[in-house]
Structure 1
Amino acid sequence: MEQPSPHALPFGRYRELLDQEYRTLSNLVGPALDRPVPACPGWTGEDLVRHTAIVFLQKAETIRTGVRPSHGWPPVSVGSFPPQALLAHCYASLIEQFDAHEPGDRVETWVPEDQTVGFWIRRLTHETAIHRFDLEDTVAGGTTPLDAKLVLDGIDEVLTVMLGRGHPDPSASGAVVRLEAGGHSWDIRLDRRRAVVERDIAADGQATLRSTAEPLLLWLWGRAPGPGPAAIEGPAAELRARLAAAL
């Protein structure tokens, strides 16, 4: 199958990074359970761990059946699991389904042009990495740098996949904001119906944010301040607000 973007990693590498990020996240569960999560106001570490576990389990069931579960979801039984056990159970269910399928196998996603298991391999690797960062931030022991190639792919994924989940915005300005990091660029036109992303095109006077890649990714996810004053005004602020509504 074709890779979903020019920044996408081989699926085997996603699997390696997913396991790595999961192990780190899992080791943080104990000290994080009762602490507030800075990135998720109102949530404790336990809330975040349970959320992550249910995401794993839902995607496992989606891959197993080919369609997203609806009735009776999530299973009532998951409430009886302690957080660590629930996370381990749900991750094992996810990996069982990844191992039983090829990346090109068909499964429901919210991106019409990519209805494959590979979509979920990529998506869950990014999801796990961001929530690992969240738990490290929760325990305040310092955060581990993200894999450099995964960061560039993460910028692309949040703009071309996650932003696409948002609803039409009748108040959208139609402005273009340009993001530059790691020798690449993304131009995002904030149209009312949807945000349109173009990769690596020539600059033409657009409002531009330049940054190293990891801080830019974390800003897009609402996990870090923006790269400079321009990030809190005009088209950049509109982009961040639109992402916040979609994530």
Structure 2
Amino acid sequence: MERSRLLECLAADVARLREVAASDLTAAVPSCPGWTVADLVRHVAEVYLHKVECMRLNAFPDPWPPADLESVAPIELLNRAYAELTGEFAARGAADPSRTWHEPDQTVGFWIRRMAQETVIHRLDAELALGVPVAPIPDDLAVDGIDEVLKLFVGYGSHAWVEDFQPVLAGAEGRTVIVGVDGGPGWLLRTGVTGADVSDVDPAAAASTSVDATVSGSAAGVLRWLWSRESPGVSDAQAEGDEATLVELRNLLVASTQ
């Protein structure tokens, strides 16, 4: 996605997060057990400020977070953090250097994408916590989010931090999953004891590819399934095939995103 489009989505989702959260900061967040909406908002704000420091220092800030952030009210902290984040983005080119956790991409552009995707997931958290209608997720943002969580979190992460994934992959048997968007792109995931490999797959070829399981649906539905952010009793994604493979995929997603 283009930088300008990612920033547009980021702006819309942080506004929605702020609007929903302000109605009840004490509500429990079912998709983040143990958190209230206040905790959720504070987390997003602290993530924004952490990325600001990653760009300013070109290094991970340590120690983190600063103790003085606790004294700032959650919504106030979110507003401050978003202003600092977007100000930092505006002052830098997407190709400018910044420390990130993805070694192949040490640029500001990585954080622009990551913060847009971080925010859409957490505004879903707020909507689920308050039981309000979920605002639409644009198809382009959802497809980009699917690509990010599969290739970066699962694919890259499982190879970069093998020890964190060993409980999930120790007994991996080369299981395969195709994740596909209705009328759109697809991804092939194959697991092994040393990590999960993720590649693009042509949608036409996907139908004739023999795999152990599939996850498919609308772009927003698949994104929500991958992040376990589905509304209670409602799903716009279908997970079919070998149950052990689907359990392994779910465990991989949990290991890579928590």
| TM-score between both structures, scaled by the size of structure 2 | 0.87
Give the stretch that moved more between structures: 228-237 or 138-147: 228-237
Structure 2 match to 1:12: 4
Structure 1 match to 2:129: 138
CA distance change for structure 1 residues 130 and 231 in 2, over 3 Å: closer, same or farther? farther
Q: Once the 2 structures are TM-superposed, how far is the Cα of residue 229 of structure 1 from its aligned partner?
A: 5.6
Structure 2 match to 1:191: 192
CA distance change for structure 1 residues 142 and 59 in 2, over 3 Å: closer, same or farther? same
Structure 1 match to 2:70: 79
| Cα shift readout 1:177-210 (whole Å, capped 9, x = no counterpart) | 1111132110001122221111024332113222
Identity %: 37
CA distance, structure 1, for counterparts of residue 59 and residue 185 of structure 2: 35
1:70 matched to 2:76: no
Structure 2 match to 1:223: 229
Aligned letter for 1:11? R
Which segments of structure 1 move beyond 4 Å, counting only runs of 4 or more? none
- 5+ residue gaps, structure 2, are none
1:240 matched to 2:253: no
CA distance, structure 2, for counterparts of residue 232 and residue 43 of structure 1: 33
1:124 matched to 2:115: yes
1:25 matched to 2:54: no
| Cα shift readout 1:64-108 (whole Å, capped 9, x = no counterpart) | 11111122x111110100111111111111112111110000111
Output aligned runs, 1:51-70, within 5 Å.
Answer: 51-70=43-62
Structure 2 match to 1:113: 104
CA distance, structure 1, for counterparts of residue 100 and residue 142 of structure 2: 22
Aligned letter for 2:195? R
C-alpha RMSD over aligned residues: 1.7
CA distance, structure 1, for counterparts of residue 242 and residue 100 of structure 2: 32
Q: Once the 2 structures are TM-superposed, how far is the Cα of residue 231 of structure 1 from its aligned partner?
A: 7.0
Structure 2 match to 1:157: 148
Structure 2 match to 1:6: none
Aligned letter for 1:152? V
Q: Secondary structure at the match of 2:240?
A: helix
- 5+ residue gaps, structure 1, are 1-8
CA distance, structure 1, for counterparts of residue 26 and residue 200 of structure 2: 42
Structure 2 match to 1:179: 179
CA distance change for structure 1 residues 45 and 113 in 2, over 3 Å: closer, same or farther? same
Q: Aligned match of 1:214 in 204, 216, 220?
A: 220
- Indicate if the aligned counterparts of 1:32 and 1:135 stay in contact, CA closer than 8 A: no
Q: Once the 2 structures are TM-superposed, how far is the Cα of residue 228 of structure 1 from its aligned partner?
A: 3.8
Q: Secondary structure at the match of 2:177?
A: strand
Alignment length, in residue pairs? 238
CA distance, structure 2, for counterparts of residue 32 and residue 173 of structure 1: 46
| TM-score between both structures, scaled by the size of structure 1 | 0.91
Q: Aligned match of 1:46 in 22, 38, 42?
A: 38
Q: Secondary structure at the match of 2:253?
A: helix
1:205 matched to 2:210: yes
